[in-house]
Amino acid sequence: MKTVITYGTFDLFHVGHVRLLRRLRDLGDRLVVGCSTDEFNASKGKHSVMPYDQRVEVLEACRYVDKVFPENSWDQKPEDIRREGADIFAMGDDWVGKFDYLEPQVEVVYLPRTQDISTTEVRQLVKSLHTEKVEEIKSAIDHLSSLVSGL
Ligand code: C2G
């Protein structure tokens, strides 16, 4: 039984997350995921749209994921690896080199990220759609008030 361990925020779960988790699961027999808590993200200056409980619920519903546990700090990884009996530590390659210090306790692997999709891009898209909608409403109100003032 080969255990793979990974970490992430997994906010606004998207196809990039799915493809990474599938490839990670294919590296072993069991995939365990450390999900960053809202408090830990706040300490990183990061604020996710989905609260921790919902991000965990989504991860647990993903068939590639066998277990989810909270990530509260940067330095808990060696203890997590020991507790879970992890054989492989793996992340997307935006973290390349950052976790090499975990060898030789565990094999460290970085996988190519999925291009052209990220939580940041999804947030920006939603924001631009929102702004667009607000502009539309504003011009409708302006049009209406000009009609009313012309009566
Ligand atoms: N990812 C990917 N392709 C994307 C977007 C993300 O493969 N298009 C991968 C990232 O490389 C990461 C994982 O999905 O391995 C989760 O990404 P985030 O939720 O952005 O994780 P992050 O906030 O970077 O947290 O202790 C480490 C941190 O918890 C990492």
The model's pLDDT over 58-68, given as tens digits with 9 standing for 90+, comes to 999 999 999 99
Whole-number pLDDT of residue 97: 97
Judge whether residue 12 has pLDDT over 90.
Answer: yes
Instruction: Tell whether ligand 1 has an atom less than 6 A from the beta carbon of residue 24.
Output: no
In this prediction, residues 71-100 reach a mean pLDDT of: 98
In this prediction, residues 126-131 reach a mean pLDDT of: 87
* CB 102, CB 77: distance < 8 Å: yes
Task: Report yes or no on whether pTM surpasses 0.85.
Answer: yes
Gap between the Cα atoms of 82 and 52, Å rounded: 24
Judge whether residue 151 has pLDDT over 90.
Answer: no
Instruction: Tell whether ligand 1 has an atom less than 6 A from the beta carbon of residue 16.
Output: yes
Gap between the Cα atoms of 3 and 122, Å rounded: 31
The alpha helices in the chain, defined as continuous H runs, are: 15-26, 38-43, 52-61, 77-84, 119-149
Distance 10 CA to ligand 1 centre (A): 7
Show which residues are catalytic. Answer: 44, 46
Gap between the Cα atoms of 64 and 19, Å rounded: 10
Judge whether residue 15 has pLDDT over 90.
Answer: yes
